[in-house]
């Protein structure tokens, strides 16, 4: 059973449920699974085993008068899995490792693929992970410029220290709570 958080600091009576489907993409070892587990389970494992076939997790959060149920796909780095999952996603989070330029190049390749294959309404987040490490190879300003050029939302995180993790999910929730065209369901929990 998923836990329920308060996102955005409000704790009010809830009567609407928003289901937001997310797909996390990126090269293996960039920290996709660690980000998701930090958000869902409040845990970080230093030497987490590599995800083999992908994983599906859920988490409920509260924002204003809405409950958001995040349905999160943590997708392995295989092209065959990508298109199966992200076509139904509302949000695709492309993760790279700030200490690995190759992972940023792979992220840019994934974004090109996404831009050509998904509905323009799909929100794409570009997330640089592992900001707690001192060996940064990917300059923040370069990525900000890239994100601006391609209409992406950009954040940096550390799954290890929890920096930026809640921010990503709060920004996603805020985007959909403020969208009157996004369908809400009656909350039955």
Q: What is the DSSP string of 20-67?
A: EEEEEE--TTSSHHHHHHHHHHS---TTPPPPSS-EEEEEEEEETTEE
Handedness of CA 90, 120, 168, 98 (dihedral sign): positive
Q: Is 146 helix (H, G, I), strand (E, B) or coil?
A: helix
pLDDT at 95: 97
**Domain positions in the chain:** 4-181
- Architecture in CATH of 4-181: 3-Layer(aba) Sandwich (3.40)
Average pLDDT over residues 115-136: 93
Q: Report the distance separating Cα 139 and Cα 90, nearest Å.
A: 28
Question: Does 178 or 38 have the greater pLDDT score?
Answer: 38
Query: 42 phi and psi, to 5 degrees?
Result: 55, 35
Helices (H), the chain: 32-41, 79-86, 101-117, 140-150, 165-177
pLDDT at 84: 58
pLDDT at 165: 97
81 has a pLDDT exceeding 60: no
pLDDT at 159: 95
């Amino acid at each position: 059973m998923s836990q329920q958080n308060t996102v955005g600091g409000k704790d009010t009576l809830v009567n609407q449920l928003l289901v937001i489907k997310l797909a996390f993409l990126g090269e293996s070892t960039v920290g996709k699974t660690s980000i998701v587990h930090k958000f869902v389970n409040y845990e970080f494992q230093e030497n987490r085993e590599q995800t083999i076939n992908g994983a599906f997790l859920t988490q409920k959060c509260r924002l204003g008068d809405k409950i958001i149920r995040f349905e999160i796909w943590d997708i392995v780095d295989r092209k065959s899995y990508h298109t199966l999952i992200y076509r139904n996603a509302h949000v695709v989070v492309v993760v790279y490792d700030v200490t690995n330029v190759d992972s940023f190049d792979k992220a840019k390749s994934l974004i090109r693929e996404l831009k050509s294959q998904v509905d323009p309404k799909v929100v794409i987040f570009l997330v640089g992970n592992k900001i707690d490490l001192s060996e940064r190879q990917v300059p923040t300003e370069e990525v900000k410029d890239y994100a601006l050029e391609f209409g992406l939302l950009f954040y940096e995180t550390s799954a290890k220290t929890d920096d930026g993790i809640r921010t990503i999910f709060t920004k996603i929730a805020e985007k959909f709570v403020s969208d009157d065209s996004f369908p809400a369901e009656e909350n039955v929990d």
